[in-house]
């Protein structure tokens, strides 16, 4: 039985399709747990469940990206080029977010914000952690609208025009 026909496969496909939203909810849950801790072992259990949710949804999202999804096709905008032009910043973020000159400082700030203990520091920590939500949205937008991404085109500007091959005249002679 193919993967998507089994109950488990359909569930994994559905969760993979909605994984970015689940991942965003998990990120928000981590921030809320950091700002308003739960009592005792409930806090540890909530963190463990959230961590498990983040890892699972990330893996399901990556698996989902490797297949053609009917739900994704149905949710495509009617004018994807216009939508891509409007969401240009997300495309930029999807491309530059993986460059070491941006990734390393961002990771340092993201990780070091965990050591902020004052009230103002915890507020800054929450804002810094919530920037991950925009990264997930940028990745999701890029995944859905990649054919219209200006940075994926040759030269990085999106102005690349395919050269049309010359039209060959029909040749009735048989080649030897």
| pLDDT score of 126 | 95
**Mean pLDDT by 10-residue block, N- to C-terminus, for the chain (176 residues)?**
67 83 92 91 92 88 81 86 92 90 94 92 94 93 89 61 60 62
CA atoms of 163 and 176, how far apart (whole Å)? 31
**pLDDT score for 10:** 78
Residue-level pLDDT at 1? 45
Give me the DSSP letters along 55-94. HHHHHHHHHHTTS--HHHHHTS-SSHHHHHHHTHHHHHHH
Of 63, 73, 61, residue with least CA distance to 26: 61
Q: In the chain, where are the structural domains located? A: 1-70, 84-149
pTM greater than 0.95 (yes/no): no
């Amino acid at each position: 039985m193919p993967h998507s026909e089994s109950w488990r496969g359909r569930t994994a496909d559905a969760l993979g399709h909605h994984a970015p939203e689940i991942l965003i909810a998990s990120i928000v849950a981590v921030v809320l747990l950091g700002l308003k801790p739960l009592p005792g072992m409930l806090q540890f259990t909530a963190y463990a469940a959230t961590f498990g949710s983040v890892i699972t949804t990330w893996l399901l999202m990556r698996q989902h990206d490797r297949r053609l999804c009917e739900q994704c096709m149905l949710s495509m905008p009617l004018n994807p080029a216009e939508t891509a032009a409007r969401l240009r910043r997300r495309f930029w973020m999807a491309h530059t977010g993986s460059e070491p000159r941006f990734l390393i400082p961002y990771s340092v700030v993201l990780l070091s914000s965990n050591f902020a203990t004052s009230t103002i520091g915890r507020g800054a920590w929450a804002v810094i952690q919530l920037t991950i939500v925009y990264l997930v949205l940028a990745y999701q937008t890029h995944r859905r609208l990649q054919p219209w991404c200006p940075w994926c085109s040759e030269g990085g500007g999106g102005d690349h025009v395919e050269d049309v091959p010359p039209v060959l005249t029909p040749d009735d002679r048989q080649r030897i």
